[in-house]
């Protein structure tokens, strides 16, 4: 699988605090953990209210298939993969996967710039997103 | 033969100029020229290193033959906090300066605060310089005990520029400089600093370690002194 540097966002919709923590802790462990370049090591930003995060790293594409993300949630919920469903949209920010369990939307993943974006395209997308939602992310606005 | 200090850095290593400027008062000097790794090296005598997260190292520097990091404006930071820095932080008499460059013209127009370098206890006790929300505006600010003293300039340059802030409670003045030239009026009526710098709020290229207020562009040669530099000293530091 190809390694690709990009930005991945998550937004909590209806995860419990332990579920959200498990998801964030899991996402912190994917991608490079050691590299001479700090830019390639998985690092993140947490939204002011704690209900969103943006990760950046040189990731393995395998981590970002729809099934891989569904499986991650299924593991957190302790349920079968088939019980986690998804809906995909493509707004300006990139590819958005809304994941549901028992027909309730639980969490949103955003691959900034879309699934085939270059690093620069992904960065442009996440910066546009942050500028448009600065009240949620910036201490001083 | 002595170095030709102040003559636009001709034939002189900028690093040596920083190290020679009020050297006994130089608390920290983050040259920011590392080629790899996460250690943000303090080249002052204190060797109190910080930690990089996410930055792209080894980008083109100020023209002194050294490289510098680039901050992505999203989730990068240079965390300078150590217990020793918090204990030694110059709350009443000090100077903070460094070079920076924006990643593109959009940084001046996106309405986002972005810190180049800063240290804070809270919103009422802090010193920093960086982007403020107005179009093209850069702010240099010293706040103590809730009394904010700040100077704002409007810039449009896509090249390197130097920012420096000096503060003195004893002399009751704060001065702000860009490229070695004082901007705005000397600020007076300083408050009294309360508290210790927070572990999340001693950063280069971000306001907090969350991170928020992430700089978008390059930063080089950030120095922190425990004395207010004179206008003549800042003039020497403010040119490449």
Chain B: residue nearest A140 by CA?
Answer: B113
**Residue A139 forms contact with B (CB below 8 Å):** yes
Contacting residues for B206 by C-beta, under 8 A, at least 6 apart = B71, B76, B77, B78, B115, B212, B213, B214, B215
pLDDT at residue A77, rounded to an integer: 83
Asked whether residue B28 carries a pLDDT value surpassing 70, the answer given is yes
Question: How far, in Å, CA of B132 to CA of B157, rounded?
Answer: 15
Task: Compute chain B's Rg from CA coordinates.
Answer: 16
pTM here is 0.93
Summarize pLDDT for B116-152 with one digit per residue, the tens: 999 999 999 999 999 998 899 999 999 999 999 999 9
Point out which residues pair with B42 in neighbouring strands: B30
Contact: A130, B75; criterion CB under 8 Å: no
DSSP state of B210: T
Summarize pLDDT for A42-64 with one digit per residue, the tens: 999 999 999 999 999 888 888 87
| Nearest CB neighbour to A43, from listed B75, B133, B216 | B75
**Residue B34 forms contact with A (CB below 8 Å):** no
Point out which residues pair with A52 in neighbouring strands: A11
**Residue A131 forms contact with B (CB below 8 Å):** yes
Strands (E), chain B: 26-30, 39-40, 50-53, 56-60, 67-72, 77-79, 93-102, 114-122, 125-131, 137-144, 147-154, 161-168, 173-178, 181-187, 202-204, 216-225
Contacting residues for A47 by C-beta, under 8 A, at least 6 apart = A53, A136, A137
- Number of neighbours of residue B95 by Cβ within 10 angstroms: 29
- Number of neighbours of residue B26 by Cβ within 10 angstroms: 22
Summarize pLDDT for B52-107 with one digit per residue, the tens: 999 999 999 999 999 999 999 999 999 999 999 999 999 999 999 999 999 999 99
Residues of A in contact with B211 (CB under 8 A): 45
Asked whether residue B12 carries a pLDDT value surpassing 70, the answer given is no
Asked whether residue B6 carries a pLDDT value surpassing 50, the answer given is no
Question: How far, in Å, CA of A38 to CA of B230, rounded?
Answer: 36
User: What ipTM goes with this model?
Assistant: 0.91
Percent of chain B with pLDDT over 90: 93
Contact: B74, A46; criterion CB under 8 Å: no
Joined together, the tokens standing for residue A15 give 């995860």
């Amino acid at each position: 699988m190809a390694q690709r540097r990009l930005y991945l966002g998550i937004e909590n919709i209806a995860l419990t605090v332990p579920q959200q923590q498990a998801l964030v802790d899991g996402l912190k462990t994917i991608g490079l953990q050691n590299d001479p370049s700090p830019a390639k090591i998985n690092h993140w930003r947490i939204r002011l209210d704690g209900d969103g995060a943006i990760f950046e790293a040189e990731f393995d594409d395998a981590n970002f298939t729809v099934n891989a993300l569904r499986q991650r949630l299924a593991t957190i919920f302790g349920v079968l993969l088939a019980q986690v469903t998804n809906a995909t949209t493509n707004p300006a920010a990139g590819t958005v996967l809304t994941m549901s369990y028992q027909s309730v939307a639980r969490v949103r993943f955003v691959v900034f710039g879309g699934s085939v974006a270059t690093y620069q395209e992904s960065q442009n997308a996440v910066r546009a997103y942050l500028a448009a939602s600065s009240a949620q992310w910036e201490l001083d606005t | 033969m002595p170095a030709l200090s102040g003559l636009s850095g001709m034939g002189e290593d900028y690093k040596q100029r920083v190290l020679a400027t009020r050297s006994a008062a130089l608390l920290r000097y983050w040259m920011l020229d590392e080629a790899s790794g996460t250690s943000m090296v303090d080249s002052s005598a204190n060797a109190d290193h910080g930690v990089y997260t996410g930055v792209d190292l080894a980008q083109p520097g100020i023209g002194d033959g050294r490289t510098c990091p680039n901050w992505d404006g999203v989730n990068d930071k240079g965390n300078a906090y150590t217990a020793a820095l918090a204990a030694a932080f110059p709350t009443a008499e000090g100077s903070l300066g460094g070079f920076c460059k924006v990643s593109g013209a959009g940084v001046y127009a996106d309405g986002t605060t972005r810190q180049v370098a800063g240290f804070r206890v809270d919103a009422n006790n802090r010193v920093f310089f960086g982007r403020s929300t107005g179009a093209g505006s850069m702010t240099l600010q010293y706040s103590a005990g809730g009394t904010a003293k700040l100077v704002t300039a409007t810039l449009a340059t896509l090249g390197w520029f130097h920012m420096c802030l000096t503060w003195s409670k004893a002399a009751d003045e704060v001065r702000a400089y860009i490229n070695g030239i004082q901007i705005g009026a000397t600020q007076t009526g300083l408050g009294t600093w309360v508290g210790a710098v927070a572990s999340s709020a001693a950063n280069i290229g971000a306001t907090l370690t969350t991170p928020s207020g992430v700089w978008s562009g390059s930063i080089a040669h950030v120095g922190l002194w425990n004395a207010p530099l004179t206008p003549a000293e800042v003039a020497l530091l403010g040119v490449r």
